[in-house]
Structure 1
Amino acid sequence: MSDAVFPFRSIVVSCQAGADNPLHGPGPMALMARAAAAGGAAGIRANGPDDVAAISAVVDLPILGINKTGDRAGVYITPSFESAAAVVRAGATVIALDGTPRPRPDGASLADLVAAIHDRLGVPVMADVDSLAAGRHARAAGVDLVGTTLAGYTGESADGDGPDLALVRELAAEVDCPIVAEGRFWSRDDVLAGFEAGAHTVVVGTAITNPMAITRRLVEAVR
């Protein structure tokens, strides 16, 4: 698989909204994706076949597809081949999945899953990881890109208000594939810092596509 999925120093916009968000659903997410594309995004990250299909119909950009299923306490970001295939059929051109060493619900190894996606679906794979060890594990399993998506969410690394730039630096220094910085990128300065830390691409989500969370963050700051 080619590792040139996104241009160097490019921004991908994550268009996702949970069920508790008034913007939940394919229609609003497609509009968000159109706005991101008009603003210069190099790609869109989207969850689930319905949102991916709606977005792929209105933007001509790579779509980094995920499929969140199962128990949120374990591996739930594209945990199986079937979950990956569903979003590829809907229009995803890249698959992102949980790339940590944690056991997958179906017992499959990460290496076997990555190989199946490459061989049977013909798309690149990005590993969402939470630590340097997980990044090494994922690259050894054959992924094409490694992202910091899970940093601060699994207990393997510290949570915080901003991005885990230390992990970006570690991965960029020690893992031989493009590093995608993702998670808690709130500002232009955060994005620039991500690239300075060695990221190939930065994914920005909530700060662009979740006005409910942005409003809450501002309101809480002045209480």
Structure 2
Amino acid sequence: MERVVMLPQGLVVSCQALPDEPLHSSFIMSKLALAAYEGGAVGIRANTKEDIEAIKTEVPLPVIGIVKRDYEGSDVFITATSKEVDELIESGCEVIALDATKQKRPKETLEELVTYIRKHAPNVEIMADISTVEEAVNADKLGFDYVGTTLRGYTSYTKGHILFEDDFAFLKEVLDKVNAKVIAEGNVITPEMYQTVSNLGVYCTVVGGAITRPKQITERFVQAAKDQS
């Protein structure tokens, strides 16, 4: 049976705050999601079962769910094992996103996690967070519904690379190489950049820090002033 497409096309707003950040609170994340909804977002990306459940009490939007958790001996931290998958299934999120990079995993293989999700949550879609074209192609072969550029620049072998370098050459190649719906995510920080990636043909775009992390936004303003002095 063909799965129902959960995400509309448009802007997805990432509402996340880690424990060391000022806005860390499921209540605050739910209100950020509400503000994003009222501003026209078509979906939310959120971290932890608790935040997702709080967000779902405030907005009727589909949620891309993740659980960030560190494991010793592995750099994979986004929905790394079936433990995190189970938490996300319980949260009721419509899409589960997981690290789909080639880095050493703490437990199950990527293919095993995809199979696990398809078996235990057949109506939930799956998003691959990738950092290279090779990883995007592999995720496409494994049957991911969405391929996102989330981890570009965050793996050891892509450090220093950003999504918009060379006029979005990386994003263009991903779009050319995969059949899955492509999600632009990572350093899309202005409305102009959002319009650019939309025109390239991505299915939707996730914007986080530029909208929901006032500390980072403030730092950019302060740094800009220092650069001019």
Out of 180, 187, 191, which is 2:190 matched to? 187
Matches within 5 A, 1:63-212: 63-71=63-71, 74-106=75-107, 108-122=108-122, 123-157=124-158, 159=160, 163=164, 165-212=168-215
TM-score after normalising by structure 2: 0.91
Aligned residues: 221
Give the counterpart letter for 1:50 in structure 2.
E
Task: String of CA shifts for 1:112-149, please: whole Å, max 9, x gaps.
Answer: 11111011022110000001000011111221110000
Percent identical residues? 37
Q: Which of the two has higher C-alpha Rg?
A: 2
Partners of 2:174 and 2:220 in 1: CA distance: 29
TM-score after normalising by structure 1: 0.93
What is the aligned partner in structure 2 of residue 15 from structure 1?
15
User: CA 1:3/1:156 → structure 2, altered by over 3 Å: closer, same or farther?
Assistant: farther
User: CA 1:34/1:149 → structure 2, altered by over 3 Å: closer, same or farther?
Assistant: same
Partners of 1:159 and 1:56 in 2: CA distance: 35
Instruction: Structure 2 unaligned segments of length 5 or more: list them.
Output: none
Is contact 1:2–1:144 with CA below 8 Å preserved after alignment? no
CA RMSD of aligned residues (A): 1.7
After the TM superposition, which parts of structure 1 deviate over 4 Å for at least 4 consecutive aligned residues? none
State the 1:158 CA deviation: 5.1
Give the counterpart letter for 2:170 in structure 1.
L
Is contact 1:149–1:181 with CA below 8 Å preserved after alignment? yes
